[in-house]
Each structure stands twice: as structure tokens, then as C-alpha cells.
Structure 1
Amino acid sequence: MTINDPLPSAGLLRRMGALLYDGLIVIAIEMIAAGIIIAILHALMAAGLFAVGNYTDVSDFLTNHPIWSPVYTFYLASVWVYFFVYFWTKAGQTLGMRAWKLHLCSQDGALITKKQALIRITASLFGLANLIVPLHPKKRGWHDMLAGTQVVVLPKAN
């Protein structure tokens, strides 16, 4: 993938397909991440090192405690962000993007940086930034323009 041999830009439907696939994967990973914290707290309760106090259970504690609820939310958000940043910076593809033959890269075709990935994920508005792709002449979303990235369609394997 070079500037002399550009690949076609990805359209909205292909992007949304990949986003749907990745959404399902992220939900599964989030369930595992949440389960780990809940299991640790239950183990600490069993050892007598932790108590939920006035809360009905560990889940109620994690979602309603004035201090630990934001910490727990930040932890889950970090897992979600890490999934995308890791795959985008290491391979230029998430698992959903791979299934839909999409590749994320910088304007020069190189892998994106962590800074670009963080800008892109922040500006993506949970995928809504893709809605302007059909209106943009180069099929770029708002987040692609801000981060200096592009999503291209890889050729079919022979």
C-alpha cells in the first residue's frame, strides 16, 4: 500500500459492518473484564477483607458507590479504548475490520500512532462520525479527518 498504488476508501456500510462485529467482541471482552473485578471482590468478601456495606451486592456497590463507581466505569472504558488502540496501532485492523477487509492507516499508508488512535476514538462519537462518510469526497469520517487517518478496502485474496 503506497501512494503510487492507492486502495479504495471504505464506504459507510462496510465500516458499519465492521463496527457491529467489533461491538460484539468488545461487549464480550467487557463482560470478562467486569467478571474479573466482581470475582476478585467476591473472593475478598469470602476472605473477610471486603464488605459491600449498605449495598445489596457487589454489582450494586460497583455501580452506585460515589467513589468506586467512577473508578469502575473508567476501568471498563479503558478496556474498550485499549481494544481499539491496540489493534489499530499494531495491525491497522480490529477483528471486525479484518472480516470486512478494511485497513486503517495514516495518509501515507503507515500504521497509525497511539496519538492518532486516541484522537480517532475520542472524535468517533461511538461510530456516529462515520455518518458523514457518504458526503465526503474521499469517504472520510470526521474522526479520520481530525486524526489524519484513512480507512481503505483491502483487495480480495487470490
Structure 2
Amino acid sequence: MAKQNKKKNQELNLAEQYQGCKRASFWRRLGAYIIDLFTIGFVIAFATALALLVVNIVAKLGGIDLSLYQDSSDYLGHSMWFLAYISLLIIAFFIYFWSCSGQTIGMKLVQLRVQNSDGSNISMTQAAIRLATSAFGLGSFMALLKDRNAFQDLWAECEVVVLPKSLNTWALFKKVEGKEK
């Protein structure tokens, strides 16, 4: 029991440390956004290769007629299912990282973290609201004003802060602060 209380106190201490961080500037957000675009590009490339493999296998088994298309990539380009698949993948990427660790890979590299004002991770609902209201990153222009939240952060009732190096370790990347698993 004492071990569990010690762990809970460490998590609360960590959330308190996150609380004391300053808000992120537009330029740091932009850096994380650019890195995340490359990361998403790699995820989409892998997902597309997987989809092409599945389409080719199904076509060889006679499940899909590709005679109306130039090749399997043309088939995917005209498929609403593929568009939905890629869209859901991108949405899941951001919601997962923001709600589980508070950081995407780009945010991790630029030392940013999205969190509630008490230092805890945002919920999946907050992450979905943040993603839906971000306007593909354009909402971050509000952060050009000093010590100001971006549009998506106001709607999701969260904030993006700059972490000191001591709080930006990979050991804390998967930690869920203030929440019991």
C-alpha cells in the first residue's frame, strides 16, 4: 500500500511540475507541426503500402476487378474506403498521442506538451475537439500573441507548454499523470 501511495505522490508531483511550465510560442508549435507532417507522411506511406498489398492479394483471388483501373494504386485513388482509412489513421494518431502522453513525436522533439491547466493529460474528447478546431494548424496563429493559447486550445480547454529538458524524457513519454490506470 505504501508503494502505491508513493507512486501516486510522484505522479501528483509530476503534474505540479507540468503546471509550472510556460506557454508555447507560435514558432515552437510550427516546428512541431512540420516534424509531425513528416511523421504522418511516413505513417501514410506505410498504410498505403499495406493497402496496396491487400488490394493486390484480393485482386489475385478474384475479389476485386481492376480492369477498369490502370493499376491498384489507381483503384485506391478512387476508393472512398481508402480515403476514410487514411483519415481515421491521421485522427487516431493525434488523439492517441495527445491523450496518452500529451505529446506527438514532433512535440516531443521540440519539447512541447498539450495538457490541462492542472498538468494532467487531456481526455480523448478534448483531443478530438482540439483536432476538429485546429483548421489544419491555422488556429495556432493566435499563439503569435504573447502568452496566448491557440484557437484549438481555447475550444478544448487545454494549453500547450514548453517543457524543460528534465521533464522531456522518453521515460515520461507514456506516463499518464493524475489518472489511475
TM-superposed CA distance for 1:51, in Å, is 1.6
Decide which of 133, 136, 147 is 2:156's aligned counterpart.
147
Question: Which stretches in structure 1 are left out of the alignment for 5+ residues?
Answer: none
Q: How many residues align?
A: 153
Specify the code of the residue in structure 1 equivalent to 2:109. A
CA gap of 1:4–1:154, structure 2 versus 1, over 3 A, is: closer
Aligned to 2:80: 70
TM-superposed CA distance for 1:36, in Å, is 0.7
User: Counterpart of 1:157 in 2: which secondary structure?
Assistant: helix
Superposition pairs of residues 43-62 of structure 1, within 5 angstroms: 43-62=57-76
Specify the code of the residue in structure 2 equivalent to 1:157. S
Aligned to 1:96: 106
Question: Which stretches in structure 2 are left out of the alignment for 5+ residues?
Answer: 1-14, 168-181
Distance 1:115 1:52 in 2: 40
User: Counterpart of 1:48 in 2: which secondary structure?
Assistant: coil
TM-score (norm 1): 0.90
CA gap of 1:148–1:99, structure 2 versus 1, over 3 A, is: same
Q: Percent identity?
A: 30
Q: Give the RMSD, CA atoms, in angstroms.
A: 1.8
Specify the code of the residue in structure 2 equivalent to 1:129. G
TM-score (norm 2): 0.79
